[in-house]
């Protein structure tokens, strides 16, 4: 179980995307020249055309821009300097064009936006300490610091009161100094707390280095574990650990065993996942007694377990993988517990079996299945179980006494809110930690006594520039789809904002992989809301806001539901006079970028602008290429166009790149990053080139390329504000094109 959520969680909102490096006109090559004369009237880059016809399953499609994929793209992930010169020239031209069209004209606005957002950050902030025996750990930032500092302080193990000086375990600002990219992925202290392992991504490509630090003196040992996922579990001997390594295509494929102080070349492979359709991961039981090796596809998995007091033991299998069967293990006392969909429990139930009888045939129901009551996760403690559920598209936490079976829930009253179960490091405790927020209410961190039911507020997110939740309105409404589905739509606006259709709107959406988009607090979006914008989040099918069936109804050959639901949400916002057509800016990232590409093709008339971050828009090519890191595991999400003609046709019907046509597209702002192994840079680059060539009188079509980062964008917290400032500025700029008078509506 992940007990480090609170310490590692940042305030990275879905809009916090990668900030591409700027290119001056002088650096542009021959793809398209931008002379001083043209600077006042910039000419968009014209990508060369290399016409390629692709034959597949008796179908054909064309790709004019496949040359943008570097033949050595794996090397580029780890060293962007290895990008081919012709591709680099074109991408730099795109950056320069975006600079001229959008960023230069909005420079003052962006500076104002960044200042506003930074003013909402408590720069010397820190998380509440999380106890772990004789110490407590917390994360902090220094004034002006970009990166987290991991701290620990000695405490009384009974009272949890600090009884000694704080100690820096890892100083992110110092570690990142002079490096173009540095992101702390995770860290793990061993049980005796004399060693501290930390995991850092230096490129943004999801390849992490693991180092080991002596806790007493802060010195790093010489060994380094490379090309890892950043996951690590310590054994009980306090010297052995398990970790996962990636292959050359950044697929996690092997669990390795390492002994601190030894040469990593002598590490032993514990398990090798040979099926490219499965990602391999590690988790540690709540009890601390077992490590679980989990091979996962999008609709099934397979788990092995290994006792941490016997790290040399071979892992044992619970139950083999089979289509549609999922189970997620944990351990407590004499039993293994499983969150599983076995027996048709679509929204999951909890089963258990004795540790001496782990075979599937011995499992029995512990919590009976309740349709429509989605169990997201559970954490086990010595005397309690805490689980997070979704019911009627809202979260709740349910606490269960393990001895008596008595249960109670932790309730909240707002129409829409976020509730995150955090846990901690300790198993023998009656305290569970959770974080509550809503679109108008900053995050509140609580320690909850599962026995007495008392809540203790540990921290309320501070907004130094000032924030009054009562100045805002949060609404949850449903948009009824054509087939009757009730699509949740969360709305935030400032009191006094006119609801007569005149307000501009920012509409965010994702809708894939079963991911639930939380209705949490995001200080950055207030820079739009305070300017009179409606901020809305569409919870379309493809997520699991309404349970697992909600996900099934938005994947594979039902994927069009996701796009139609989002379009319907936009229409309902118009029908209810929150906004008007052409006053909506759509925003989505990754698979949400796919959403943006589809709705731009299907309903360009609804939007004043489209923001597509690290956009998965060339899906036919990507999902037809089994060598790409994410492709084989994706076949259960989208379909397999290599072997199945019905899947091919279903995907080809909506694939954004393949459905670009001459249309009145609104302005589109796409973003990508060279070190992105999840959505490769050439997808948005090809898409923008095709949009520009096919609809030269529409747009404009803008591309920002981060020449140094990956899927998660810039790692520094203030650098991220510059990225968000670009997206917010684009939204204001795009709305302003359709609005007489100033580009930015006055504050209400």
Catalytic residue chosen out of the listed positions 125, 518, 519, 676:
676
Beta strand spans in 503-576 (E): 505-509, 534-538
Q: What pLDDT does residue 707 have?
A: 79
User: If pLDDT is split at 50, 70 and 90, which confidence band does 20 have?
Assistant: very low
Catalytic residue chosen out of the listed positions 512, 535, 711, 744:
711
**Domain residue limits, the chain:** 25-119+466-737
Backbone angles phi, psi at 575, to 5 degrees: -60, -35
Question: Cα Rg for the chain, rounded, in angstroms?
Answer: 25
Q: Among residues 556, 516, 551, which one has the least CA distance to residue 537? A: 516
CA 699 to chain centre: 28
Q: What pLDDT does residue 625 have?
A: 93
Q: What is the mean pLDDT of residues 283-299?
A: 95
The number of C-alpha atoms within 13 Å of 375 and in the hemisphere containing its C-beta is 26
DSSP bridge pairs for 44: none
Is 70 exceeded by the pLDDT of residue 514? yes
Q: What pLDDT does residue 710 have?
A: 58
Lowest-pLDDT range of 36-40, 96-100, 292-296: 36-40
Catalytic residue chosen out of the listed positions 590, 624, 677, 744:
590
Q: Cβ contacts of residue 168 below 8 Å, gap of 6+?
A: 149, 150, 151, 218
Q: What is the DSSP secondary-structure string of 388-438?
A: EEEETTEEEEEEEETTT--EEEE---SSS-EEEE---S-SS-SEEEEEEE-
In the block, tokens 């996942």 appear at 273
Q: What pLDDT does residue 172 have?
A: 97
Quick: pLDDT tens for 187-211.
Answer: 999 999 999 999 999 987 688 999 9
Is the Cβ–Cβ distance between 282 and 233 less than 8 Å? yes
User: If pLDDT is split at 50, 70 and 90, which confidence band does 304 have?
Assistant: very high
Is the Cβ–Cβ distance between 575 and 639 less than 8 Å? no
Distances (CA, A) of 400 to 130, 352, 364, 372, 375: 22, 15, 18, 19, 14
Q: What is the mean pLDDT of residues 325-340?
A: 98
Distances (CA, A) of 339 to 330, 466, 489, 499, 698: 9, 42, 28, 44, 50
CA distance linking residue 280 with residue 471, whole number of Å: 46
DSSP bridge pairs for 153: 136
Choose between 51 and 714: higher pLDDT.
Answer: 51
- Whether the CA torsion 623, 624, 625, 631 is positive or negative: it is positive
Quick: pLDDT tens for 580-607.
Answer: 998 999 999 999 999 999 999 999 999 9
User: If pLDDT is split at 50, 70 and 90, which confidence band does 743 have?
Assistant: very low
CA distance linking residue 653 with residue 648, whole number of Å: 9
Lowest-pLDDT range of 80-89, 280-289, 309-318, 733-742: 733-742
Distances (CA, A) of 71 to 245, 250, 354: 24, 16, 52
Q: Among residues 713, 513, 590, 507, which one has the least CA distance to residue 12? A: 713
Q: Is 360 helix (H, G, I), strand (E, B) or coil?
A: helix
Quick: pLDDT tens for 226-236.
Answer: 999 999 999 99
Quick: pLDDT tens for 123-160.
Answer: 999 999 999 999 999 999 999 999 999 999 999 999 99
Is 60 exceeded by the pLDDT of residue 19? no
Q: What pLDDT does residue 676 have?
A: 76
Distances (CA, A) of 695 to 73, 610, 645: 29, 15, 30
Q: What pLDDT does residue 677 have?
A: 76
Q: What is the mean pLDDT of residues 418-424?
A: 91
DSSP bridge pairs for 434: 421, 446
Q: What is the mean pLDDT of residues 687-708?
A: 94
Tell me, yes or no, if 309 is annotated catalytic.
Answer: no
Residue 274's CB: how many other CB atoms inside 10 A? 8
Q: What is the mean pLDDT of residues 416-431?
A: 94
Tell me, yes or no, if 35 is annotated catalytic.
Answer: no
CA 3 to chain centre: 18
Tell me, yes or no, if 590 is annotated catalytic.
Answer: yes
Report the b/e string of 189-204 with b at 16+ CB within 10 A: bbeebebbbbbbbbbb
Q: Does domain 25-119+466-737 have CATH number 3.40.50.1820?
A: yes
Q: What is the mean pLDDT of residues 48-68?
A: 96
DSSP bridge pairs for 486: 480
Q: What pLDDT does residue 22 have?
A: 26
Q: Among residues 216, 175, 166, which one has the least CA distance to residue 198? A: 175
Q: What pLDDT does residue 40 have?
A: 57
- For 280, the enclosing helix (H) or strand (E) is strand 279-284
Alpha helices in 32-169 (DSSP H): 36-39, 73-78, 85-98, 107-119
CA 648 to chain centre: 27
- For 176, the enclosing helix (H) or strand (E) is helix 172-176
Q: What is the mean pLDDT of residues 429-437?
A: 97
Q: What is the mean pLDDT of residues 428-448?
A: 97
Q: Cβ contacts of residue 70 below 8 Å, gap of 6+?
A: 76, 82, 83, 84, 87, 682
Kindly report the average pLDDT of the chain as a whole number. Answer: 91
Is 90 exceeded by the pLDDT of residue 3? no
User: If pLDDT is split at 50, 70 and 90, which confidence band does 740 have?
Assistant: low
Q: What is the mean pLDDT of residues 420-439?
A: 95
Q: What is the DSSP secondary-structure string of 372-384?
A: TEEEEEEEE-SSE
Is the Cβ–Cβ distance between 578 and 491 less than 8 Å? yes
Structure tokens at 372: 């429509």
């Amino acid at each position: 179980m992940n007990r480090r959520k609170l310490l590692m969680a940042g305030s990275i909102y879905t809009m916090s995307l990668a900030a591409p490096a700027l290119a001056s006109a002088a650096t542009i090559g021959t793809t398209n020249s931008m002379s001083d004369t043209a600077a006042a009237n910039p000419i968009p880059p014209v990508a060369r055309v290399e016409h390629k016809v692709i034959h597949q399953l008796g179908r054909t499609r064309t790709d004019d821009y496949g040359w943008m994929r570097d033949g050595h793209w794996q090397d580029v992930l780890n060293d962007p300097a290895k990008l081919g010169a012709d591709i680099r020239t074109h991408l730099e031209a795109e950056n320069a064009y975006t600079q001229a069209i959008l960023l230069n004209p909005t420079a003052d606005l962006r500076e104002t936006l960044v200042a506003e957002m930074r003013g909402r950050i408590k720069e010397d902030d820190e998380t509440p300490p999380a106890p772990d025996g004789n110490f407590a750990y917390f994360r902090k930032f220094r004034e002006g610091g970009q990166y987290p500092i991991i701290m620990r302080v000695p405490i009384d193990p009974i009272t949890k009161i600090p009884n000694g000086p704080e100690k820096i375990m890892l100083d992110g600002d110092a570690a990142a100094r002079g490096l173009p990219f540095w992101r702390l992925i995770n860290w793990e202290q061993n049980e005796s707390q004399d060693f501290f392992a930390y995991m850092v991504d230096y490129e943004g490509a999801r390849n992490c280095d693991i180092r080991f630090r002596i806790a007493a003196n802060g010195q790093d040992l010489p060994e380094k574990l490379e090309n890892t996922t950043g996951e690590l579990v310590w054994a009980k001997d306090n010297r052995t650990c398990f970790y996962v390594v990636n292959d050359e295509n950044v697929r996690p494929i092997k669990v390795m065993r390492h002994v601190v102080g030894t040469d990593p070349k002598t590490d032993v492979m514990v398990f090798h996942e040979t099926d490219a359709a499965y990602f391999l991961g590690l988790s540690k039981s709540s009890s601390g007694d077992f490590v679980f090796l989990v091979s996962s596809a999008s609709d099934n998995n397979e788990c092995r377990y290994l006792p941490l007091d016997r790290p040399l033991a071979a892992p044992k299998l619970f139950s083999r993988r089979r289509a549609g069967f999922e189970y997620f293990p944990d351990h407590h006392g004499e039993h293994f517990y499983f969150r599983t969909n076995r027996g048709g429990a679509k929204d999951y139930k909890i089963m258990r079996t004795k540790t001496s009888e782990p075979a599937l045939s011995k499992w029995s129901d512990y919590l009976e299945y309740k349709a429509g009551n989605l169990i997201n996760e559970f954490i086990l403690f010595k005397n309690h179980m805490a689980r997070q559920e979704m019911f009627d598209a809202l979260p709740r936490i349910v606490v269960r006494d393990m001895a008596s079976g008595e249960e109670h829930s932790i309730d909240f009253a707002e129409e829409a809110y976020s509730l995150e179960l955090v846990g901690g490091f300790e198993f023998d405790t009656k305290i569970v930690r959770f974080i509550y927020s809503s679109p108008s209410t900053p995050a509140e961190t609580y320690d909850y006594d599962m026995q007495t039911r008392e809540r203790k507020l540990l921290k309320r997110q501070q907004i130094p520039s000032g924030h009054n939740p009562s100045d805002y309105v949060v609404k949850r409404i449903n948009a009824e789809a054509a087939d009757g589905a009730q699509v949740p739509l969360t709305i935030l606006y400032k009191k006094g904002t006119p609801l007569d259709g005149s307000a501009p709107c920012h509409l965010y959406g994702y809708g894939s992989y079963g991911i639930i988009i939380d209705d949490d607090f995001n200080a950055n979006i207030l820079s739009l809301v305070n300017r009179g914008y409606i901020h809305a989040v569409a919870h379309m099918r493809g997520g699991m806001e309404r349970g697992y069936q909600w996900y099934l109804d938005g994947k594979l050959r039902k994927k069009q539901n996701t796009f139609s639901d989002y379009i319907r949400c936009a229409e309902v916002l118009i029908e209810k006079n929150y906004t008007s057509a052409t006053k909506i800016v759509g925003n989505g990232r990754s698979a949400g970028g796919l959403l943006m590409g589809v709705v731009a093709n299907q309903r360009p008339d609804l939007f004043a602008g489209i923001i597509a971050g690290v956009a998965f828009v060339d899906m036919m090519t990507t999902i037809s290429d089994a060598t790409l890191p994410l492709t084989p595991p994706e076949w259960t999400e989208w379909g397999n166009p290599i072997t199945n003609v019905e899947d091919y046709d279903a995907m080809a019907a909506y694939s954004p790149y393949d459905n670009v046509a001459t249309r009145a597209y609104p302005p589109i702002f796409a973003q990508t990053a060279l070190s992105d192994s999840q959505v490769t840079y050439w997808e948005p680059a090809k898409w923008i080139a095709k949009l520009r060539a096919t609809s030269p009188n529409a747009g404009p079509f803008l591309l920002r390329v981060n020449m140094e980062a990956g899927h998660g964008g810039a790692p520094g917290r203030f650098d991220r504000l510059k990225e968000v400032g670009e997206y917010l500025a684009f939204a204001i700029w795009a709305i302003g094109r359709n609005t007489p008078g100033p580009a930015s509506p006055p504050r209400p």
